[in-house]
Amino acid sequence: MADWLLAIILGLVEGLTEFIPVSSTGHLLLLGHFLGFESTGKTFEIVIQLGALLAIISVYFKRLWTLATRWPFDAEARRFLIGLLVAFAPAVVIGVFAYDFIKLVLFETPVVICVALIIGGILLLMLDRMKKVPVYLEADRYPMRIYLLIGLFQCLAMIPGVSRSGATIAGGLLLGTDKRSAAEFSFFLALPTMGAAVAYDLLQNWERLDFSDAGLIAIGFVTAFLTALAVVKLLLDFVSRHGFAPFAWWRIVVGVVGLVLLGLGVGA
């Protein structure tokens, strides 16, 4: 397969899966395993995530600008920023201390990814069918306790295949949020979480980074940005109408197919 085509495929996968509850990391790692792709120091995989992050900033720029400029004298804006930091804090602590285990063990074990995809899909199906009247309908008005607990749920996504957005959304639903606000809050929480994760990855791999394939990285980055932009704009309405069942079934199918291919020795 031509390198440029592979870059487009991986960019599409990153953009399409980063903000839906199917685990972009799990998909990228499995694809890389089966296609035999791995860039030096994972430069490609790290940088294209910034494309997806830029999509969130583009869609929510007005609200983000308002938060950035009004928080010193607007109590509601300040409270939401504090809530984001509270939700983000557990990932910082656990991510730093467990970084080596996550990257060197979990990320290198495709079976773990497949099993996590299947289990996560089953749990998401159960949550989607749960008859529970939501209590919290606006992402910027959750109680601080809810922000902290959602942040703890997010830490489950350090297991590849769990899904960062899936963990935060599932946590929100269990804690009484509605589907739309849970998905929206996962977008906002992605900004500090993904930003810090990419920065930390770059720092840890600085000596191994290789930008010699800058053209391929650019293709992947732009592809991830454009596809993530479409996902972010469409996801909230889609979830409001269809729930999370389509994503749950997709996870299960990908996990099962991955286990079958691993059993057949594909990509070994």
Nearest to 217 by CA among 81, 97, 67, 37: 37
Cα 30–chain centre separation: 15
pLDDT digits (tens, 9 = 90+) for 224-248: 999 999 998 898 889 888 888 999 9
213, pLDDT greater than 80: no
Nearest to 213 by CA among 46, 21, 34: 46
Give Cβ neighbours of residue 27 (< 8 Å, ≥ 6 apart): 13, 17, 254
Give me the mean pLDDT over the 247-253 stretch. 95
Nearest to 151 by CA among 14, 54, 127, 142: 142
% of the chain surpassing 70 pLDDT: 96
Contact 247, 240 (CB under 8 A): no
152, pLDDT greater than 70: yes
117, pLDDT greater than 90: yes
Across the chain, what does the average pLDDT equal?
88
Give Cβ neighbours of residue 202 (< 8 Å, ≥ 6 apart): 46, 209
How high is the pLDDT of residue 1? 61
pLDDT-derived band at 119 (thresholds 50, 70, 90) equals very high
Beta bridge partners of 177: 136
pLDDT-derived band at 250 (thresholds 50, 70, 90) equals very high
254, pLDDT greater than 90: yes
pLDDT digits (tens, 9 = 90+) for 39-77: 665 677 778 888 999 999 999 999 899 888 998 889 999
Beta strand residue intervals within 41-188, DSSP E = none
139, pLDDT greater than 70: yes
180, pLDDT greater than 80: yes
Nearest to 160 by CA among 258, 243, 230: 258
Nearest to 116 by CA among 185, 240, 200, 23: 23
For residue 211 the two structure tokens come to 């930008």
